[in-house]
Amino acid sequence: MNCLFCSIIDKQIPADIVYEDEHVLAFRDINPQTPQHMLVIPKQHIATLNDANEADALLLGRLSLAAAKLATQQGFAEAGYRTVMNCNAHGGQTVDHIHLHLLGGKALGWPPFTDQLKTV
């Protein structure tokens, strides 16, 4: 299988790894959108959130817990941060291996992307 993030897990492609345990890997996004922007991924290949099932519930939970641990380690947990998982084309997913974006280091606007919100 040709998957960019599986290649990072296998250390075939370099990445700035900031956290690793038995189930989860985290590394800095190559194109950061905030001063702190990391990706938290499962070591198991799951293409999109749509492909996850009941058996993956614990693993999905581990992604969030790893993100919180990482934010603490990096010193911005108290100030706050955002986690985002994009899914498929409308969600803006470009890499088909699920990943939780961990965004921090500055105050983020809410709601996001107000220019793209459609009022009906």
Q: Report whether 39 contacts 99 (CB < 8 A).
A: yes
Type of residue at 32:
P
> Which listed residue (17, 45, 64, 93) binds Zn ion by CB under 5 A?
45
| Residue 99 binds Zn ion, judged by CB under 5 A | no
Residue 93 touches which of Zn ion, ligand 5GP, none (Cβ within 5-8 Å per kind): ligand 5GP
Determine how β-strand 24-28 pairs with β-strand 100-104.
Answer: unpaired
- DSSP string for 55-89: GGHHHHHHHHHHHHHHHHHHT-TTT-EEEE---HH
Q: How far is the CB of 97 from Zn ion (least distance, A)?
A: 3
Q: Which is nearer to ligand 5GP, 16 or 21 (CB)?
A: 16
The binding site for Zn ion (CB under 5 A) comprises 3, 5-6, 45, 97
Catalytic center residues: 99
